[in-house]
Amino acid sequence: MSASIGVIVFPGTNCEHDAVGAVDALGGEGRLIFHTDTSLGQLDGLILPGGFAHGDYLRPGAIARFSPIMEAVRTFAEAGGPVVGICNGFQVLCEAHLLPGALQKNRGLTFLCQPSELEVVSTSSVLTSSATVGQRLSVPINHFSGSYTCDLDTLRQLEAQDRIVLRYVDNPNGSIDSIAGISNEAGNVVGLMPHPERAVSSLLGSEDGAVLLRSFLGAAAAATVG
Amino acid sequence: MRFLAHVDVRLRHGIADPEGATILRALPALGFTSVASVESGRSFRVELDAADLEAARSMAASLADRLLANPVIEESVIEVEPLG
């Protein structure tokens, strides 16, 4: 059975169709869910896609976190449902405290839109379960506030619990410990700045994002939440 | 009673401040060669109604902590004054 994936749309989200397209291309079924909805319906997994929710006013994700749909997202995540936040979605998950830390403006105040070389650090997340540790993936980044930061205790905890999911090979944005993606303790909630949905076909320059999204779809198909 | 809260949000000590660093690097081009450091932040002026100054302070602190600042990377300094 193919996995049914909800893609959350906030005002200002702009990667929702790419996300649905990638899910569909990889054998899942994506559908859009509006930020004013209060329930998710029958779903196997959730994607919070990229964009500029609420114009990134105040801080990226700061306002989106109060959207009506976020309560259902929290319930789904806490019940073990697979959730991935991509770029702005990662920022929303951090602001909603579903993931620790914060995303700051890039080092050098540069908006970065380029391919990025990633290294898989952990395979105990829903996004990397079919990858191998040390595997190199080329996945594009497209962000201004993507420099991951957290306090030292959190960083030690992330390391000790195998929750650093992906690292940049050349750390283009100045993230602490070159972190590109992290997970929650259970591994079912993942946030990453790179855009795997933009790397699912050689036409787009890379198919490496499919490795990540296939893991996610597999986890979603196996999940019993929703 | 109406109060005016000045909420000054700044980065916690030790958190990288790329905005401040970039401004610092730009200043010598304008002839400001003796600037030692620049820290960026944002300030908010919030008008609110509360029973007294203490209640107004407490409300301002709470809204700063829950929305205006991200406690992971930022801290806020708050001053409240009566209005009118």
B23: domain CATH number?
A: 3.30.1280.10
> Mean pLDDT, chain A, as a whole number?
96
- Residue A38 belongs to a domain with what CATH number? 3.40.50.880
At residue B40, the pLDDT reads 95
Q: Using the predicted structure, report yes or no on whether residue A226 has a pLDDT greater than 80.
A: no
Query: pLDDT tens, A34-62?
Result: 999 999 999 999 999 999 999 999 999 99
User: Which among B70, B74, B75 is the top mutation candidate for probing chain A, defined by the most A β-carbons within 10 Å of its own β-carbon?
Assistant: B70
Quote the domain boundaries for residue A207. 4-222
How many domains in chain B?
A: 1
Instruction: Provide mean pLDDT across the span A81-100.
Output: 98
User: What average pLDDT does this structure show over A107-136?
Assistant: 96
Alpha-carbon Rg of chain B, whole angstroms?
A: 16
Answer yes or no: do A104 and B16 touch at CB < 8 A: yes
Give me the amino acid identity at A122. S
Q: Is the pLDDT of residue A28 over 60?
A: yes
**For position A108, what pLDDT does the model report?**
86
pLDDT tens digits for A148-178? 999 999 999 999 999 999 999 999 999 999 9
Q: What pLDDT sits at residue A103?
A: 97
Question: How many domains are there within chain A?
Answer: 1
Is A100 close to B15, i.e. CB distance below 8 A?
no
Interval B7-16 mean pLDDT: 92
Please name the residues between 53 and 72 in chain A that touch chain B, using a CB distance below 8 Å: 58-59, 62
pTM of the model: 0.93
How far is A105 from chain B, CA to nearest CA, in Å?
A: 7
pLDDT score of B16:
86
Of A87, A94, A95, A150, the active-site residue reads A87
What whole-number percentage of chain A has pLDDT above 70? Answer: 98
Phi first, then psi, for residue A220 (nearest 5°) are: -65, -45
What pLDDT was estimated at residue A223? 83
Q: What is the pLDDT of residue B32?
A: 97
Residue numbers of the domain that contains B32: 2-82
User: pLDDT tens across B13-69, in order?
Assistant: 888 898 999 999 999 999 999 999 999 999 999 999 999 999 999 999 999 999 999
